[in-house]
Amino acid sequence: MNILVTGGAGFIGSHIATYHLEKGDNVFVVDNLSTGSIKNIEPLLDNPAFTFHEADILVWDQLKSVISRMDRIYHMAAIVGVKKVLKDPQAVMAINIAATERVFRAVAEVRPQAQVTIASSSEVYGFNTNEGFSETDDIVLRSGARLRWAYAVTKLADEFLAYSFMYQSGIKVVIARFFNTVGPRQVGTYGMVVPTFIHQAVNNLPVTVYGDGLQTRSFCDVRDTVVALDLLNSTPAANGEIVNVGNNEEISILDLARLIVKRAGSSSPITFLSYKEAYGMEMDDQTHRRPILDKLQSLTGFKTKWSLYQTIDDLIALERKRNRP
C-alpha cells in the first residue's frame, strides 16, 4: 500500500510513517520543516520504501502527481500549539485551511478512490459543559480571546471542507478529532505540556503550571493513536464519520505535574503562572477535555495499550538519555 503523510516530519506524522513502514507499506512524507524536524524521520531516510519531500504543501508542485499514486492519505500538516497560534495566527488560518482544501481538490481530481484521514482537534468542543465530549455534542466557542481559538476554528473549517468534498466528489474521508496526544518526539517548544514538564522535572527545574492547574485533560500515547487511525482507515463504516481519538482517563494539570515530578524522582518545585504571564494575554481555558470513545470502540474495537504512567516513564528515560554527555 502507498501511504502519503503530509506534515510527516512532525510528532504524530512521523509515528504514522514509522508504523506503516513497519507494516511493509511504501511511505511518502511531505513537510516544510517549519515545526517538524528532520530528526523525527532521520532513522527512516535509508529505508528504500520511504520517500521524503521537503516542501510547503500550499505550493508544492508535485502534490497531484504524488497523490495520484496513493492508496491512503493522512493529512497532518498544520500549525499547532497555543504559543505558535498566538505568535502567528495568519499562518494558522492560511495553512490549516488552505492546505486542507488544496489536498482535497487534488484527491477529488486525480485519486478519488484514496482513503483520506484529516486531523481535527478536541479544541473544537470549546466550552461545552458536558463532563465528556461525544461527536454529536454542540460546539461552544466564546466571542472573547479570538486569537486563542483560531486553531479550533480552522479545524472546524477543515471538517466542513471534508464534508463538502465527500458530498460533491464522493471521496472517502475519516475525520479524527484528536485529544491530547503525547509520546516520543513531541517537544514543548509551542506549549505542549507533557514534554515541558518532563524536561523541567528531569533537570530539577521549576515545573510551571498555567492558571490554577485544576483544568483537566486526557492524554493518549501516540503509539495507541496510530493504531486507532489505521483501524479507522481499514473500517469502511468509518468513512464520512467524525471520530474521537484519544484516551478517556482524565487528570488535572496540577496532578500531572505532581505525577511527573514523582516518577522522575525530581526535586523540582511546582510553580504557577497566570495565562497573561505565560501567553502575554488574559484568556479563558477549557476546564476539562475528556473524550467519549464509544464510537471509536464500536467501529473498530480499539482499546488503548499504553497507560499514562508507562508513557511518562518512557519519556523520562528518553529525556535522561538526551542529557547524557
How does pLDDT run along the chain (325 residues), one tens digit per residue?
999 999 999 999 999 999 999 999 999 999 999 888 999 999 999 999 999 999 999 999 999 999 999 999 999 998 777 777 777 778 788 889 999 999 999 999 999 999 999 999 999 999 899 999 999 999 998 776 567 788 889 999 999 999 999 999 999 999 999 999 999 999 887 779 999 999 999 999 999 999 999 999 999 999 999 999 999 999 999 999 999 999 999 999 999 999 999 999 999 999 999 988 877 777 777 889 999 999 999 999 999 999 999 999 999 999 999 877 6
Closest CA to 26 of 54, 3, 53: 3
Catalytic residue check, 190 = no
- C-alpha 296: how far from its chain's center? 17
Closest CA to 195 of 207, 177, 179: 207
The label of the residue with cell 471542507 reads 161
Residue 197 lies in a domain: no
> DSSP string of 172-192?
EEEEEEE--EE-TT--STTS-
Residue 309 lies in a domain: no
What pTM was computed for the model?
Answer: 0.95
Residue 313 lies in a domain: no
Residue 277 lies in a domain: no
Q: Which of 19, 74, 125, 151 is catalytic?
A: 151
Residue 92 lies in a domain: yes
The label of the residue with cell 504524488 reads 66
62 touches 53 (CB < 8 A): yes
Q: Domain limits at 113?
A: 2-183+220-247+291-304
Residue 206 lies in a domain: no
What pLDDT, on a 0 to 100 scale, did the predictor assign at position 108?
97
Residue 312 lies in a domain: no
Q: 244 phi and psi, to 5 degrees?
A: -65, 135
Q: What is the CATH number of the domain that holds 104?
A: 3.40.50.720
Residue 201 lies in a domain: no
Q: How many domains does the chain have?
A: 1
